[in-house]
Structure 1
Amino acid sequence: MKKTSALLLPIRLLTLIFLTGLHTFALAQTKKPRFRVVAIAEKGGGVHAPFVTEAKKWLAQVASENNFTIDYIENTEPINDAFLAKYQLFIQLNYPPYMWTDTAKEAFRKYITEGKGGGWVGFHHASLLGEFDGYPMWPWFSEFMGGIRYKNYIATFAKATVHVEATNHPVMKGLPATFAVEKEEWYTYNKNPRLNVSVLATVDESTYSPDSDIKMGGDHPVIWSNEHMKARNVYIFMGHHPDLFKNEAFVKIFRNALFWGAGK
């Protein structure tokens, strides 16, 4: 009898450990996410598809580590008030400010101007403002981006140095004073958005390599926030090449923007 009891003890202990593990797993599976994110990236994406692919991998890892969820859409058809109300952050990962349905335009405008739902992080194509692919420019989005219109870009790409300007802004937290971006198109606009937005970082046009005549004339914002809107928002011009996810500064900016935009 004593021998049998001695054998039962480790069996019971193992059973208890197993059941505790199952309970912990079940709790993890049912744990409510901290927040929900929706990201829009057009189907296919052309030359920007590799950037989107890397972004999705990175976001999946960050979401897993920080207990939030991400849903992806490829066009604006699903967007309305009820749809946006489910999310605490809208990421415009690779989608221009045209090809939007009228319902989506109005819902997004309210989401940003009223600030009742969540924040916004936009990359690269979000400032492609003008008449493209048969679509007119969306005037409100132009105002949101600082009253600008797209003018030109460096089609052959250029390496450049970015200067952090708003060192105290949460999106710029932990960034060095300057950092290099190896390959970008560096859009130019019909005017500088600075008068209408808070500039967080600029690109030093004198560092273009190879040099280019396509410049803003010295003051060239590339990361900014429109503080006239109630929703937290930040536009990050970079977003063309997948190697950006090997750039520690870019990854830190994206991560900071994600949690700041979601209010977390």
Structure 2
Amino acid sequence: MIRLLAMLGTLMTPQAAPNPHLPKPVVDTTAPTLPPTLKPGSVLIVSKTNGWRHIEHIPHSNEVLAGIARDLGRTSFTTENAAVFDDALLKPFSVVVLNSASGDFMTPTQRAAFERFVARGGGVVALHAAGDDSHKAPWYVDTIIGTTFTGHPGGPDHIQPARVVVKQPAHPVMAGIPQPWMPKDEWYSFSHDPATRGMTVLASVDEASYRPGEKLAMGASHPIVWINPRARGRVIYSAMGHTPESYDDPHYRRLLTNAVRWAAR
């Protein structure tokens, strides 16, 4: 009787709602059906999250990214199904945009297909949480990120305006980006400058223009956008893009448009 009452009490106790920012990881095994309208040179937009899910910006940023592809004269396909990482399914695409795709969201077989895609010249545009520390696969860390995410300001300093400094103004990705530029964002910090691992930094954030916090300060070199010139395909990572409003900033839209155009060749 006591056990029964205890069980009834458990059933009647309100259970904590699941955190929408931390969905249960899902392994995709059934591939999505690609639309027949896809043309060669298409853009694949992937926002699968087996780690932290940026529920605030992903719906809007996916729409913005599809619009950028359309403005560039390219068809696109948006999915959260990692089984799209398959040699045959990747054939129509010239660039993959990892839109805050987090966690180890690919199986080893899917990751191998992605590796082959890059090895044969496919481009990658990785955004925000696509570079956080939930990614553990050595190839991904070395090829896409080149460093380790260590955190970002929290509390009242979570979203701050800061000065983005263009380090490579002649690079096509930086074309038309003004100086000064003071966007509001969630500013990621990293364990080391990815330039020490062969990356080329295109833009950094000036730590004197915001409050990174003692433990997150990187000093004079705080990279925020970089490319991997070692990869066969064109790979770019931007740590920016936490808020939906980021994707309405005309300067960030220009940077994303430049990045997709450059990565897709």
TM-score band, normalised by shorter chain: 0.7 to 0.9
TM-score, with structure 2 as normaliser: 0.77
Tell me how far 1:99 sits from its aligned partner.
2.5
1:178-203 per-residue CA deviation (whole Å, 9 max, x = no partner) reads 3112131x222222111220100000
Tell me how far 1:105 sits from its aligned partner.
1.0
How many residues are treated as equivalent by the alignment?
Answer: 225
Does structure 2 conserve the Cα–Cα contact (< 8 Å) formed by 1:202 and 1:221?
yes
1:17-48 per-residue CA deviation (whole Å, 9 max, x = no partner) reads xxxxxxxxxxxxx9984731111112699762
Runs of 5+ in structure 1 lacking a partner?
A: 1-29
How does 1:95-110 map onto structure 2 within 5 Å?
95-96=101-102, 98-110=104-116
Tell me how far 1:227 sits from its aligned partner.
0.2
SS in 2 for 1:151: strand
SS in 2 for 1:252: helix
Matching of residue 59 in structure 1 with residue 60 in structure 2: no
Q: Going by fraction, where is helix more abundant, 1 or 2?
A: 1
- Give the residue type in structure 2 aligned to 1:183: D
SS in 1 for 2:225: strand
Matching of residue 92 in structure 1 with residue 98 in structure 2: yes
1:58-95 per-residue CA deviation (whole Å, 9 max, x = no partner) reads 23433444432111121312311112222111000120
Task: Return the index of the structure with the highest Cα Rg.
Answer: 1
- Distance in 1 (CA, whole Å) between partners of 2:212 and 2:235 is 32
Does structure 2 conserve the Cα–Cα contact (< 8 Å) formed by 1:37 and 1:91?
yes
- Distance in 2 (CA, whole Å) between partners of 1:32 and 1:83 is 11
The range that moved more, 58-67 or 84-93, is 58-67
- Distance in 1 (CA, whole Å) between partners of 2:37 and 2:96 is 22
- Distance in 2 (CA, whole Å) between partners of 1:44 and 1:145 is 17
Does structure 1 conserve the Cα–Cα contact (< 8 Å) formed by 2:46 and 2:98?
yes
SS in 2 for 1:88: strand
| Residue equivalent to 1:188 | 189
Runs of 5+ in structure 2 lacking a partner?
A: 1-35
- Distance in 1 (CA, whole Å) between partners of 2:38 and 2:140 is 34
Q: Decide which of 179, 188, 202 is 1:200's aligned counterpart.
A: 202
The range that moved more, 165-174 or 34-43, is 34-43
TM-score, with structure 1 as normaliser: 0.77
SS in 2 for 1:83: coil
SS in 2 for 1:82: coil
% identical aligned pairs: 27
How does 1:171-186 map onto structure 2 within 5 Å?
171-184=173-186, 186=187
Q: Going by fraction, where is strand more abundant, 1 or 2?
A: 1
SS in 2 for 1:58: helix
- Give the residue type in structure 2 aligned to 1:140: W
Does structure 2 conserve the Cα–Cα contact (< 8 Å) formed by 1:146 and 1:194?
no
Matching of residue 212 in structure 1 with residue 210 in structure 2: no
- Distance in 2 (CA, whole Å) between partners of 1:204 and 1:48 is 25
Does structure 2 conserve the Cα–Cα contact (< 8 Å) formed by 1:164 and 1:178?
no
Cα RMSD for the two superposed structures: 2.5
Assess, with a 3 A threshold, how the Cα gap between structure 1 residues 33 and 221 changes in structure 2: closer, same or farther: same
Does structure 2 conserve the Cα–Cα contact (< 8 Å) formed by 1:202 and 1:219?
yes
- Distance in 2 (CA, whole Å) between partners of 1:241 and 1:170 is 25
SS in 2 for 1:261: helix
Tell me how far 1:261 sits from its aligned partner.
1.2
Assess, with a 3 A threshold, how the Cα gap between structure 1 residues 187 and 71 changes in structure 2: closer, same or farther: same
Does structure 2 conserve the Cα–Cα contact (< 8 Å) formed by 1:97 and 1:141?
no
Matching of residue 144 in structure 1 with residue 143 in structure 2: yes
Assess, with a 3 A threshold, how the Cα gap between structure 1 residues 47 and 180 changes in structure 2: closer, same or farther: farther
1:96-147 per-residue CA deviation (whole Å, 9 max, x = no partner) reads 25121111111111222331xx211010112113xx4xxx711111111454
SS in 2 for 1:235: strand
- Distance in 1 (CA, whole Å) between partners of 2:179 and 2:212 is 22
- Distance in 1 (CA, whole Å) between partners of 2:103 and 2:227 is 16
